[in-house]
Structure 1
Amino acid sequence: MSEFKRPENTMMPTQTTTPRAGKKESTTAFVLKVTIVAALGGLLFGYDTAVIAGAIGFLQIKFNLSAAMVGWAASSAIWGCVVGAMFAGLLSDRIGRKKVLLITAVLFAISAIGSAIPNNLTHFIIARFIGGLGVGAASMLSPLYISEIAPAHIRGTLVSLYQLAIVIGINLVYFINMQIATQNSEAWNVDLGWRYMLGSETLPAVLFLVLLFLVPESPRWLVKNKREAEALDTLTRVNGRERALEVMQEIKVALAQETGTVGELFKPGLRVALIVGVVLALFSQITGINAIIYYAPEIFKSIGFATESAFTQTLFIGLVNTVFTFVALWLIDKAGRRALLLWGVGGMVLCLLSVGICFYFNITEGPWLLIFILGFIACFASSLGPIPWVIISEIFPTKTRGIAMSFCTVVLWIGVVLITQLTPMLLEGVGGAFTFWIFMVNAIILLLFTWKMIPETKQRTLEEIELSWSHR
C-alpha cells in the first residue's frame, strides 16, 4: 500500500475564463510570498505553545501550583486549540480561508496582552484559552491554505515551511525566554519575568495580521464559491497560464463529483483517508514531542542543571529541531512522505528507549541524556514534525477539506492536551524512564501503522490524490 496509482487524466482544459490583464504569469517570488505569510501562522503556533516552557516554573511559584495545576496552566491554551480547530474548518468553508486567518491573528494579539497582565490564575487561563483558539484555527488553516495554492511538484516542501515556521517560533521564544530569565533574579522572574515572556508575542501577531492583507484567497475555495476569475488569476501566477487552465478544470471536475457532506468522508476509500489523517494527527503528539518542547527546562532542572544551564540545553533542542526540519524540506518531495516517516519514527523509537534507560539507571551526568533527546528531536523534525501537516492537507476532497482537517486537527490537539496535562504527573508519579518508554510504545504503534497503511502522495495534484482513494 505504499504507492498511489495515478488515475487516467481525461480532463481537458477549457478556456471559460481568462486571467485579468496585467498580472504576471508565474513567479517563484509570488508563491514564496504567499507561503511565508501563511506560514507565519505556524510561527505563532510555535511561539504561543512554547512560550509556556520558560514561564511555567515561575508561574508555579507565583501561584503556588501543584503538579496537576501546573499541567492545567500549561494546557489551558491547548483546550482553546481544540475548540479553535473544531470550528475553523466549517467557518473557513463558509467565509474563506483568508478571513479566518485574519481572525486568528487578532486572537493571538489579544491573548499575548491578556496573559501578560493577570494577577490570578483564572484570568491567566482565560487569556491563554483565547490564544489557543487562534493557534487551533491557524494550525489547520495555514497548511490547508498553502496546500490549496502550492504547485503539486513542490507542495510537500511548501507545506513543510509551515513546520519550519513552527520550529522558528519555538526557537525564537526559547531565546527570548532565556534572555529574560537569565538577566534578572529569580524573584524578579516570579513577579515580572513571565509577563514579559508572554507579552512578547504581541509583535509577531500584529505582523501576521498586517501581512495577511497582501495575499489572495485560496483558489480552490474561490472555485467552489463560483469566483472563477479570481481563482484562475491566482492559479496562473502560481502555475503559469497553460497549467493553470488544466488545474482549474481538474478542480471543477473534482468539485462536481463531491457531495460536500461529512458523510462523504466515511464512504469506502475516503474512510481510509480519514483513518490515516486521524492516526497521524494523534500519534504526532503522543510520541512525546511536546513533553520535551513544553517541559524541557523543568526536566533539565529536575536532574540537577541550574536555571541558566537548563535554558541553554533548551536552545540546543531548538537548534537541532531547526536543522533537521531543513532536512525534511530537502527530502520530502524527493524521498517521499512515507519513506521519511519510516526512517524517522524508527529513529524516534531507538532514542526514546535510550532516554528511558538513562533515566532508569540515573545516567544524567555527562552528555548521553542530552544526545539521545537531541537524536529524538532530529528524527521527529525530519519526519513526524512536518509530514502529518502535509499529508492531512493533501488527502481530502475540496468541498470537505476544511471540516476534515478540522476533525483531524481536533484529534491532534486532544493528543497535545493529554501530553501537556499528564507529563508533569507522569514524571512525578512513575518517573522519567517509564514516561519516555510509554512514548516509545506509541512510536512503535505508529511505525507499524505507517508501514501497513500510509500511501505515498508526492508529485500528485490534490485532485489526483482524491481520485486515487476510489481505487483503495
Structure 2
Amino acid sequence: MAKDTELEMMSTNVVSVTQTCSVPSEKHKNKVVYHPTAKQWMSLMSGVFIFISGGMSLAFGLGWNLHTHIHTTMQLRYSWFTGYIAGAILAAPLINSIPKRVSMLLGAFLVIVGGIIITSVPYNYSAILAARYINGIVVGGTTLQFLVHASEIAANENRGFCLWLEQTGITLGMVIQTVYTSQWSGTVQFAADRLHGILGILFGTLAICCAHLIIESPIFFIRQCDDARALDCLRQLQRPDDAAPRALQTFLNEQRSYVVLETETVAWSKTLTHTPFLRLLLYRSMLAFGFALPMNEVMKAANLLVLGGVYEWQPIVFVVLRIGGTCSSLYMFDVTGRKLVSLVALLATAMLSIAIAGVWDNERSVESEYHMSVICVLSQVFQFFAGLYAPSSSVYLSEAFPMKLKPYLIAGCLVIEQAIHIIVICTFHLNIFCMYLYALFVGILMLICFGFFCVTMPETRKTTLGEAQIRFRKFWHFKCY
C-alpha cells in the first residue's frame, strides 16, 4: 500500500510538472545523438583562466612563496582556503538564479581587483591578505558553478574532458607559481609578489575576454520553463548539421524529462538518503593530500640538502610531473574509463606515501644526501599520480548528485576538501616525527580508500547524467571498467 501510494504521488507530480512546462506526451522513437562540439568546452574557458589564478594562490599558501617580502603567517597561508569555503557556500543557493555569464564576469573582475592590490602594494601584509581572501571567494564560487554548468552542457562522450578542465586550470596555476618562485633571484630589484599580481590581472582579463563564449545550460532555462531560450542554447551547442528543428526538439524533450524526473518527483528527504554524499566527500578529500603543505615542505627540504641550499631543476620536475599526470588522464576518462584510471593512481600514491614515511622513520636517513635524493624522486613521482587522480574527482562530483541537491552537496565536498588543507596548515610542523606520521597516515588512508572505492564507485563513461545518478544510487560496484 505504501509503495502504491508513493508511486501514485510521483506520477501525479510528473503530470503536473509536465503540464506546467508543456512537455509533449509522445515519445520520440528516432534517437538523435547529442554530439561533442568545440563550443561546449570553449564555453568553459573563462572559468579555466580563473582557476589558473586560483592555482597560483593555492601554491602560494602551500609553501611556494619563497621570495615574498612579507612575513608568512599561518593566517596568510590559510586565508585563500577560508575564502574558497565562503565562496562555495555563497554560490550554492544562487547558482540556479544567476546566469553563468554574469557570475563569470563578476568573478573575473574580482580576480583583476585582487591582482591590482598585490601589484600595487606587494610589501603590505594586510593588502595581500585581503587579495588572497578575494581570490579564494571567487575560485570557490566559480568551481561550484563550473562543475554544474560543464556537466549540463557537455555531450556524454566528452563530459570527462569538459570537467577535466577544472583541475587542469588549477594545476597550471600551481606550475606557474612553483616554477617562478623557485627560480627567482634574490638580487632582482622587483618584488616576486608583484609578478603574482600581474599574472592575476592577465588571467582575469583573459577570463573577461572569454566570457562572450559562454553558452548557458539549456537546463537553466528549462527550470524556468523558458523553452525558446533553451532551444537557442541547444542550437549554439550543437553542430550545424544536427541543429535541425526536429533534432533540437528531441534534445529539448530529453533535457526536460531529466529536469522533471530529477527535480520534481522525489521528496528532499528521499533524495538525500539516496545520494552518495559520503562516498564523494571521501573521494574529493583525497585531493587535499596530493598537493599539500607537508609534501611541498619535504620536497623543499630534501632539495636544499641535496643541492647545498639552492633550488635548481627539482621543483620544476616536481610540478611538471604533476601537470603531466593531469594531462595523461585526459584521453583515459572518456575512452578507458574514470574508475580504473583513478584507482591505479590512488594505489600508486598510497604506496609512494608509505615509502616516503619509511625514509623519515630513521633520523640518520634524513641527514643522508642519498636518502634525501630518494625523497626528491619519490615526491616527484607522487605528484604525477596525484595529478592523474585529481580530475576524476571533478567528473564524479558533477555526475553523482540529483539536480535538486547538486549545488549544496558539491559545495559540501569542496568545503571539506579545503577544511583539510586548513587543518594541516594549522597543525603541521616540519620535523622527523610529524612528517613520518603524516606520510604514514596518508598512505594508509589512501590504501583503505582504494579498497573502498574498488567496490563502491561506478564507471560512468559515456552515460547520461540521469544514468550516472542511477548508478551512484547503488552502493556496490565491483566492475573496474
The answer to whether TM tops 0.5 is yes
Q: Which amino acid aligns with 1:135?
A: V
Contact 1:97 1:217 in 2 (8 A): yes
- Residue 143 of structure 2, aligned match among 139, 143, 148: 139
When residues 161 and 358 of structure 1 are mapped into structure 2, their CA distance, relative to the original with a 3 A threshold, is same
Q: Which amino acid aligns with 1:352?
A: S
Contact 1:250 1:463 in 2 (8 A): no
Q: Which residue of 2 aligns with 1:46?
A: 55
Contact 1:45 1:139 in 2 (8 A): no
Shift of 1:294: 5.7
Shift of 1:328: 0.6
**What SS class does the counterpart of residue 459 from structure 1 fall into?**
coil
For 2:38 and 2:413, locate their aligned partners in 1 and report how far apart those are by CA, in whole Å. Answer: 31
Q: Bigger shift: 245-254 or 86-95?
A: 245-254
Q: Which amino acid aligns with 1:273?
A: P
Deviations 1:55-85 (A, max 9, x none): 63444x743x5xxx3x321111110001001
Contact 2:115 2:200 in 1 (8 A): yes
Which structure is higher in RCO with an 8 Å CA cutoff and minimum separation 6?
1
For 1:246 and 1:364, locate their aligned partners in 2 and report how far apart those are by CA, in whole Å. Answer: 66
For 1:185 and 1:414, locate their aligned partners in 2 and report how far apart those are by CA, in whole Å. Answer: 37
Q: Which amino acid aligns with 2:180?
A: I
When residues 458 and 292 of structure 1 are mapped into structure 2, their CA distance, relative to the original with a 3 A threshold, is farther
- Residue 370, structure 1, aligned to residue 376, structure 2: yes
Q: What are the residue-to-residue correspondences of 1:22-421 with 2, within 5 Å?
A: 28-52=37-61, 56-59=65-68, 62-63=70-71, 69=73, 71-116=74-119, 117=121, 119-178=123-182, 181-182=184-185, 184-185=186-187, 192-239=191-238, 240-241=242-243, 244-259=248-263, 264=268, 267=270, 271-285=274-288, 287-291=289-293, 295=297, 298-300=300-302, 303=305, 305=307, 308-309=310-311, 312-360=313-361, 361-362=365-366, 363-365=368-370, 367-383=373-389, 385-421=390-426
Deviations 1:42-64 (A, max 9, x none): 323222322445763444x743x
For 2:410 and 2:336, locate their aligned partners in 1 and report how far apart those are by CA, in whole Å. Answer: 25
For 2:380 and 2:452, locate their aligned partners in 1 and report how far apart those are by CA, in whole Å. Answer: 25
Deviations 1:386-443 (A, max 9, x none): 0111100112223432233222212222122223333xx3324734332222221221
For 2:385 and 2:139, locate their aligned partners in 1 and report how far apart those are by CA, in whole Å. Answer: 24
When residues 259 and 197 of structure 1 are mapped into structure 2, their CA distance, relative to the original with a 3 A threshold, is closer
Q: Which amino acid aligns with 2:292?
A: N
Contact 1:37 1:211 in 2 (8 A): yes
Shift of 1:178: 4.1
Q: Which amino acid aligns with 2:400?
A: I
Unaligned stretches of 5+ residues in structure 2: 1-17, 27-33, 476-481
For 1:84 and 1:121, locate their aligned partners in 2 and report how far apart those are by CA, in whole Å. Answer: 22
Q: Which residue of 1 aligns with 2:15?
A: none
TM-score normalized by structure 2? 0.81
Of all paired residues, the percent bearing the same amino acid is 18
Q: Bigger shift: 233-242 or 200-209?
A: 233-242
Q: Bigger shift: 152-161 or 276-285?
A: 276-285
Q: Which amino acid aligns with 2:97?
A: R
For 2:234 and 2:264, locate their aligned partners in 1 and report how far apart those are by CA, in whole Å. Answer: 22
When residues 199 and 36 of structure 1 are mapped into structure 2, their CA distance, relative to the original with a 3 A threshold, is closer
Q: Which residue of 2 aligns with 1:6?
A: none
For 1:215 and 1:203, locate their aligned partners in 2 and report how far apart those are by CA, in whole Å. Answer: 19
TM-score normalized by structure 1? 0.82
RMSD over aligned Cα atoms: 3.1
Q: Which residue of 2 aligns with 1:439?
A: 442
When residues 104 and 446 of structure 1 are mapped into structure 2, their CA distance, relative to the original with a 3 A threshold, is farther
How many residues align? The count is 436
Q: Which amino acid aligns with 1:124?
A: I
For 2:212 and 2:399, locate their aligned partners in 1 and report how far apart those are by CA, in whole Å. Answer: 25
Q: Which amino acid aligns with 1:211?
A: C
Contact 2:271 2:402 in 1 (8 A): no
Shift of 1:270: 5.5
**What SS class does the counterpart of residue 44 from structure 2 fall into?**
helix
Deviations 1:425-464 (A, max 9, x none): 3324734332222221221232132123211211111122
Deviations 1:326-349 (A, max 9, x none): 221111122222212221111011
Q: Which amino acid aligns with 2:419?
A: I
For 2:355 and 2:126, locate their aligned partners in 1 and report how far apart those are by CA, in whole Å. Answer: 39
Unaligned stretches of 5+ residues in structure 1: 1-10, 17-24
Contact 1:219 1:230 in 2 (8 A): yes
When residues 461 and 245 of structure 1 are mapped into structure 2, their CA distance, relative to the original with a 3 A threshold, is farther
Shift of 1:251: 2.4
**What SS class does the counterpart of residue 65 from structure 2 fall into?**
helix
Contact 1:152 1:460 in 2 (8 A): yes
Contact 1:108 1:202 in 2 (8 A): yes
Contact 1:85 1:139 in 2 (8 A): yes
For 1:258 and 1:433, locate their aligned partners in 2 and report how far apart those are by CA, in whole Å. Answer: 46
Contact 2:263 2:403 in 1 (8 A): no
Q: Which residue of 2 aligns with 1:21?
A: none
Shift of 1:267: 2.6
Shift of 1:14: 5.2
- The structure having more radius of gyration, on CA atoms, is 2
Shift of 1:133: 0.4
When residues 262 and 127 of structure 1 are mapped into structure 2, their CA distance, relative to the original with a 3 A threshold, is farther
When residues 230 and 306 of structure 1 are mapped into structure 2, their CA distance, relative to the original with a 3 A threshold, is farther
Q: Which residue of 2 aligns with 1:5?
A: none
Contact 1:269 1:469 in 2 (8 A): no
Contact 1:262 1:400 in 2 (8 A): no
Contact 1:222 1:230 in 2 (8 A): yes
Q: Which amino acid aligns with 2:130?
A: I
**What SS class does the counterpart of residue 213 from structure 1 fall into?**
helix
For 1:221 and 1:355, locate their aligned partners in 2 and report how far apart those are by CA, in whole Å. Answer: 47
For 1:444 and 1:128, locate their aligned partners in 2 and report how far apart those are by CA, in whole Å. Answer: 34
